[in-house]
Amino acid sequence: AHAIVIDSLQARRNAEKRFCTKLLATTNSEFQNVVSSMREEDRNKVAYERLENQNNLDICRAAAGVEGAAKMLRQQADMQVQQKKSIKQMRDEFEQIKTELNLRVTVAEQEKQTKHDQMVKAELTLQITSTRLSAECDQLKADLKLSANENNDL
């Protein structure tokens, strides 16, 4: 009977030992599965974050490119506005110079016309005076002749 109790205790110990070994193996396997899935989850998170960072970087690059293009367009528009202002200013200055030059030419032409008119007037006055003097001279000659005839008749 003592041997049966010892055998049953030994069998129970062996059964507990097998149970503990199987429980330990199952727990260890479960632990490895949990650790492995955590590692896989961590790897997936890291890969997702890396992909998300890459996408964010691409978006930032695209935004920087768009911002640079917008800045260049603003600068180009500003330059065109400045160019138009400069062209307008130059045209205004050209028109002012042209107006001044036309005014000078007009004044010079008026002066020239005035001098020409004065010369024509002087020539006409000279011709009129010359004609009048010739007529007076002829009249005086006639009067002189008449006087000379009267003196001769006396």
- The amino acid at 30: E
Residues whose CB is less than 8 angstroms from the CB of residue 106 and which lie 6 or more positions away in sequence, other chains included: none
pLDDT tens figures, 58-85: 999 999 999 999 999 999 999 999 999 9
- Counting as low any pLDDT under 50, the low residues of the chain are none
pTM comes to 0.42
